[in-house]
Amino acid sequence: MFLRRVMMRCYINGIIHPMTEESLVYHSIATNQGVIVHIDDHIDLKQCESIVDLKGNHLYPGFVDAHLHLLGYGEHLSTLNVSSCHTKEALFELLDQHLNKPFVFAQGYIDIGITKHDLDKRYKDQMILLRHNDFHGLTLNQKALDHFNVSDETGILKELKAQHVLDLIPKHSKEELSEMLKKALEKLYHYGITGGHSDDLFYYNGFDETYSVFEDVLKTHPFRTHLLMHHEVIDDFIKSKKSWGVQNPYLELGGVKMFYDGTMSSQTALMKDPYLKSSHHGEVVMGKDFFENTLIKTRSHGLTAAIHVIGDQGLDDVCELLLKHPPRQGFKDRIIHAPWLMKKTLPKLIDKPLTIDIQPPFLASDLPRAYTLFSKKPEYEFPWKTYLDHQIIISGSSDAPVEDPNPLIGIKDAIFRRSREDMHVYQKEESLSSFEAIKLYSTYAHAQSIYGKKGYIKEGYVADFTVLDLDLMHAHEHAFNGNHVVMTIIDDVIVYTRKL
């Protein structure tokens, strides 16, 4: 399936961006056993067992998605997807094509006002379950509610109530999980992605079986995989006797995933000001005491935290808790999302042992619709430039399958900040330069990687490369559209080559 790794391979005739300086480019590199060994003039082509002609294309350090759900993405690719349905009629038309079984499970539902009453009028004999596109909610018809022994006036379930139903759905077999993971990785190769930091170890068949799925699949499908450990599986991790950190060249175990608040679309993200026409500010989904106790437990095992937080008040609360319960010396926590920020919170992030996983496509998807939820706009909105200007490391990600994991979309959104809804540009002063935006998915994306020599084209660094036919440093906005990936290389294994 893949072009094998060789003793010495030379990549020539390229425009190679090392990402150490904005204007610096090389034209050839040599690798040996998965590591960059020579650059430009230091290369002797006579020593190369294999030569790859880049034909003037652009080679970058391998792109990495700093927060996604690999198995979730594989399931998304294998399941009925209704994310394109923006009207009730379009959704019903798509559901009507999949009524050949008693249980219809669809992912990617965008809130268009459907309740169980809408579903009951049309679907009385099938159980219908719509998983919301933020993955924090479900909408069920009455037959499905009855099956899961859940009562709700609208059929719209959020957070823990939704998770309870998901826990009752029959699990995938180990073989099915393996196929889902392979499908996800092969699609990510197509996007030029060489690694990802993923939250999967709780949601499927438990820590041990899910870990073994990754361990087995990565033997045939190389991918730099960093797995977060959901707080519900800490005890399973401890019982497994596995060490924290590097497991093998393609697998790391990382921070403990926990949730402080919810999402904007479900109005459970914890905001300083109440939601519009409401006294409701959002919620701490785990409860404040349980969240803090989970953080204390995480520290007792010497582990780092990976905290989902979206609301501006939620972010401030999390910063206070991290100051109260800091990680071990030399280790860094990660905050996931943080799109809204209060001025008073910024100093609590500066010079602290943490990084932030941002999702540039969220701006393009959420604005201006998010404004309709606020009684008052937050002080900072998707403040990526502010974070970088204060030396707060931010890593680019998609939260796939919530957003398309194509990193070119994320890079474009980080540079241009244009809404896909109304095509307006929002807070242009927070736009990143092209160089900064590329680093989100290359250099900065490795901020939480435990093995350090990744994210640059330098001697001694891993041979993970993304080759494009596009100069991202100078590309116009519309140039990012389309398939520009020529080749994806992981550990000097060519896992994807575009067909001519």
Domain with CATH 2.30.40.10 in the chain: 1-62+456-500
pLDDT digits (tens, 9 = 90+) for 366-389: 999 999 999 999 999 999 999 999
Burial of 466 (0-12, 13-18, 19+ CB in 10 A): buried
| Six token digits for residue 152 | 């709700």
Q: Which residues contact 166 (CB under 8 A, 6 or more apart)?
A: 131, 138, 203
pLDDT digits (tens, 9 = 90+) for 415-456: 999 999 999 999 999 999 999 999 999 999 999 988 889 999
**Residue 4 pLDDT > 80, yes or no?**
no
pLDDT digits (tens, 9 = 90+) for 183-205: 999 999 999 999 999 999 999 99
Domain with CATH 3.20.20.140 in the chain: 64-71+173-454
CA dist 18 and 356 (Å) reads: 23
Residue 2 has a pLDDT of 54
* Mean predicted confidence (pLDDT) in 95-102: 89
**Residue 1 pLDDT > 60, yes or no?**
no
* Mean predicted confidence (pLDDT) in 207-235: 98
User: With left for phi above 0 and alpha for psi between -120 and 50, is residue 145 left, alpha or beta?
Assistant: alpha
pLDDT digits (tens, 9 = 90+) for 6-51: 679 999 999 999 999 999 999 999 999 999 999 998 888 888 999 9
Q: Which CATH superfamily is domain 1-62+456-500 in?
A: Urease, subunit C, domain 1 (2.30.40.10)
Q: How confident is the model at residue 135 (pLDDT cuts 50, 70, 90)?
A: confident
CATH 3.10.310.70 assigned to 81-168? yes
Burial of 176 (0-12, 13-18, 19+ CB in 10 A): middle
* Mean predicted confidence (pLDDT) in 249-265: 96
Q: Per residue in 3-20, is it b (16+ CB within 10 Å) or e — as a string?
A: bebeebbbbbebbbbbbe
Q: How confident is the model at residue 76 (pLDDT cuts 50, 70, 90)?
A: very high
Q: How confident is the model at residue 231 (pLDDT cuts 50, 70, 90)?
A: very high
Residue 105 has a pLDDT of 94
Domain with CATH 3.10.310.70 in the chain: 81-168
Residue 72 has a pLDDT of 94
The position carrying tokens 């652009």 is: 58
Question: Percent of the chain beyond pLDDT 70?
Answer: 99
Residue 417 has a pLDDT of 99
The position carrying tokens 């990687």 is: 449
Three-state secondary structure string covering the chain: CCECCCCEEEEECCEECCCCCCCCCECCEEEECCEEEEEHHHCCHHHCCEEEECCCCEEEECEEEEEECHHHHHHHHHCEECCCCCCHHHHHHHHHHHCCCCEEEEEEECCCCCCHHHHHHHCCCCEEEEEECCCCEEEECHHHHHHCCCCCCCCEEEHHHHHHHHHHCCCCCHHHHHHHHHHHHHHHHHCCEEEEEEECCCCCCHHHHHHHHHHHHCCCCCCEEEEEEEHHHHHHHHHHCCCCEEEECCEEEEEEEEECCCCCCCCCCCCCCCECCCCCCCCCCCCHHHHHHHHHHHHHCCCCEEEEECCHHHHHHHHHHHHHCCCCCCCCEEEEECCEECHHHHHHHCCCCEEEEECHHHHHHHCCHHHHHECCCCCEECCHHHHHHCCCCEEECCCCCCCCCCHHHHHHHHHHCECCCCCCECCHHHCCCHHHHHHHCCCHHHCCCCCCCCCCCCCCCECCEEEECCCCCCCCHHHHCCCCEEEEEECCEEEEECCC
User: With left for phi above 0 and alpha for psi between -120 and 50, is residue 492 left, alpha or beta?
Assistant: left
Q: Which residues contact 428 (CB under 8 A, 6 or more apart)?
A: 417
Cα within 13 Å of Cα(295), Cβ side: 27
| Six token digits for residue 4 | 């094998």
Residue 5 has a pLDDT of 64
pLDDT digits (tens, 9 = 90+) for 294-345: 999 999 999 999 999 999 999 999 999 999 999 999 999 999 999 999 999 9
CATH class of residue range 64-71+173-454? alpha beta
| Six token digits for residue 486 | 């020529």
Q: How many CB atoms neighbour CB 22 within 10 A?
A: 13
